[in-house]
Structures are given as C-alpha cells and as structure tokens.
Amino acid sequence: MEETPYRFRIEPHGGMRVPGVVFASRELLPDIGNDPSLRQVANVATLPGIVGASYAMPDVHWGYGFPIGGVAATDVDAGGVVSPGGVGFDISCGVRLLSADLDRVELAPALGAVMDGLDRATPRGMAKGAVWHLSGEAELEQVLLGGSRYAVEQGHGVARDLERCEDMGAVSDASTGAVSERARQRGAKQVGSLGSGNHFLEVQAVDQIYDEPAATAFGLRSDQVCVMIHCGSRGLGHQICTDHVHIMEKAMRRYGIEVPDRQLACAPVESAEGKAYLGAMAAAANYARANRQLLGESTRRVFADATGHHLDLVYDISHNLAKIETHVVDGVRRRVCVHRKGATRALPAGHPDVPADLSGVGQPVLIPGSMGTESYVLTGVEGGPAFASTCHGAGRVRSRHQAAKAVRGQDLRRDLEASNIAVRGASWRGLAEEAPDAYKDVAAVVEATEGAGLCRRVARLVPLGVVKG
C-alpha cells in the first residue's frame, strides 16, 4: 500500500509482529517475480521483540535472511533478539572518504601516476596480501580490540582521523573470546586489503554542492579531489557470521524461537549466544575500521609521492552493523538493538555521537554509486523515520553472474576510459560483474531517500579513476 510517494506499507499478516515499511519510489520497488526482498522484509517483521517496523531502504534487494537495505530494531529489555543475518557476512563493511588539498585540474597531469601507484599499492581480489603485515597473534588481538585507534597508535594515521570515524575508530565492547581460530587465520594476512566484488577505491571530484554550510563543515568544495574507499572485514568477518549463524540455529529451540527462514537464525540479545555474537561482531567491526585506516594511509602515501599533496579524512561510516542504541518508540525511550544491513546510520545535527566540529550540520552519510556513476555525500536529519538510518548505495538489480554474461570486462574498461575514467582492475570478470547497469540509478535512490525524509544531500562526486578487485 502506498502511504506517500516515497513510503509503502506491508500490513502485518501471518507471523508478522509489526508492519513492513519500504522507502522507495514506484520505479525503485523490487520486481517481486525476480527479487524476493519484499518477502524478506515481511519475514524480518516476525523476529521476537521487533519494534516500530521492518524497514527497507530505496536500494533494497535480496540478501541473506534480511534484505540488503534492511533495518530492524528489537527491544533488548523485552526479549528482543540479535540476528547475524541482520548484519551480513561482511561485518562493518563501510565507506571512507578523504579530501585532497588540490582540484581536479591540478590533478589531471598526475592522474596516470596516481592511478598506477594505487594499482601497485592496493592489495585486492581473493588472493592474500595486505598493507599491514601483523607480527603475530598478539598484534591481531590488538587490531580486534583497538581498530583504527590501535592503527593510529602504531603510526598508521593521525589523531584527527579518529575524530572523523564512527565510534572514534573502535567499538568499545569488542570481545575476542568468540572469534574462532578459523576466523583469525582468515584475517591475519588481510589487514589493509580491498577484497573483490563491489569493493573499490575511487578517485573522485566534487561536481556539485547542494548544502554549502554542511559541505564547508565537512571540508568539501567544488572541483576538489577526493578518494572514496569501500571495503569491510574481509574473511574474518565472513567467518564470524558463518560461525554464529550455526550457533544460533542450534540455540533457537532452547529459547522457543521459530522463524520463517533459517537464515534469520537469532538469539535474545541478553543471552549467552547473543552476547557472544555481539562481542565477536564488534571485534570484526574494529578489524574493518583498521582495514580502511590502512588503505587510507597507503592512499595518502601514493598521493604525496605523485602530487605532493595531502589527504584529510572527511568521515568513515559502516553500513553492516548491529548497535545497542536508545530510541523513542511509541512515546517511550527504549534500549534497542538496531540491525543495519546495507544501511547507513544517519545522525542529525546536535546528536551526541556526531563529532563536535560537525554538531551543527549532522553526521556525514557516504553513498557510493556503481562503477562509472556519481556518488553522494548526505547528512542526517532530525526525526528520521527508521531509527536514524538511510540507504548505503545504488543496490543491485542483476546478479554478478548475470552482469558478467551481459558485458565483457575489456569492453567496459574501454567505455569507462572513453568517458575519461581511468580503470585499474584485478580481473576482467571482476570488472564485468560490477557493470553500472547491474545496479539501480543512484541518483534515483538518493532522490527517494531525501524524499522519504531519511537524510538530505550535501554534495555530488564524480569518478576520475577507479581501482577494482
């Protein structure tokens, strides 16, 4: 049912405890015949303790258990559950944006050298390799507990980086006791690596400013060069999700929990299994923050060598995470576990978790487009209707297999470079899988996001060069 031009409602039925709410235009609604994500929205609404609604962002598409672009909050003190499927396999996957002290015209003569340097300096793909070669198990433990804070302490960055990073660079309640040996093995040699799939490192330019005061506060101006990095917790986060889904599958019967899809395996937040997952998830989140910190530092070195210019961190924000937060629900302040899967936290001006120097404009929201298309910087707004959450990107409409069948990587690179976008890819298939037409129109997604009252636009960025796994 269409409630407004950008808000659709799925009435509770079957085992749904709350309605489903989809923020989208009619054009962005998933094709029910090819994309079961709306059914997943309804399934999420059956979780014990869920409050408000099961929300879907304009970039929603089919995922594991939860749709990607799904948001759900459960009441911790009323038996609310946490579900690893509500975070996903790439725990704390997110976006880091850095701004340069030069313009696109100044960069032009050095762009080739910058892209070649980034190509050499950025480990990616499925192979092992990292910017940071950890000294052993003890140092990995420090990364899991300290995230970007530990990385900066070891000389990989500056103190200001932490001020412009979600949670000041590290989740404080991380616990490594429930991080398996297999997860540690997978993560030990990947700190400072991009990975593959939709992960990227992109050199961009500010193409349009929509909100001058917010852009100025963020440190952005017209024609300025920026770098956007999109990656997460690599094999370590994937293994933690896998391990805890299996644990919760076995535990649900003990807690009398039934779900319509085994991929929604869950346990009460306050249970032993719930606490173990949240601690391990937080450790993976810290790993992801450190991973992006290292990639950012590597990028800074390349820029300094090739251009003599510096990069400052605008912000670093996750879009795959569950957090214990306090929100007003039905007029009452409640402690809730907010699952954001393919959804970005979007805090308004004045919120205590917004950096002090940005308090007057709100938290930066970083929304990448598909390869070759624009990306956006937005900010949170007061009264956001989905637990201060918004979209995370364009959202897929074709699987990677379908995309690879539709276009050759060689042809895609030729077309992008004909549009003056330099491309450095690890494989032709990897490029083909991320073809722009495999995704929704990011401009339409952002328009629906703003129209639904989830956040507001600050700036548009256009690509100059991209490094892909």
Q: What is the pLDDT of residues 246-285, one digit of tens each?
A: 999 999 999 999 999 999 999 999 999 999 999 999 999 9
Asked if the model's pLDDT at residue 126 lies above 80, the reply is: no
In terms of residues, how long is the chain?
Answer: 469
**352 Cβ neighbours under 8 A, 6+ residues apart:** none
Whether the predicted pLDDT of 123 surpasses 70: yes
Q: Which pLDDT score, from 0 to 100, does residue 436 have?
A: 83
Q: What is the mean pLDDT of residues 125-131?
A: 68
Q: Which of 156, 309, 392, 401 is catalytic?
A: 392
Q: How confident is the model at residue 298 (pLDDT cuts 50, 70, 90)?
A: very high
Q: Is 392 a catalytic residue?
A: yes
Give mean pLDDT, residues 152-179.
96
> pLDDT band at 128, cuts 50/70/90?
low
Q: How far apart are CA 341 and CA 85, in angstroms?
A: 8
What does the pLDDT average to over 94-107? 97
Contact call for residues 86 and 301 (beta carbons, < 8 A) = no
Query: How confident is the model over 79-94, as a mean pLDDT?
Result: 98
Please check the confidence at residue 399 and state whether its pLDDT lies above 70.
yes
Between CA 417 and CA 425 the distance in angstroms is: 12
Greatest pairwise CA separation for the chain in angstroms: 64
Provide φ and ψ at 366, rounded to 5°.
Answer: -110, 115
Mean pLDDT in residue range 194-213: 96
Mean predicted confidence (pLDDT) in 156-181? 96
Q: Is residue 407 pLDDT above 90, yes or no?
A: no
Domain 2-397+439-468 is classified in which CATH homologous superfamily? tRNA-splicing ligase RtcB (3.90.1860.10)
- Give residue-wise pLDDT tens across range 384-398: 999 999 999 998 888
Q: Which of 119-128, 285-294, 449-458 has the lowest mean pLDDT?
A: 119-128
Both tokens of 205, joined, read 């330019």
Whether 431 has a pLDDT exceeding 90, the answer reads no
**pLDDT over 90 percentage in the chain:** 87
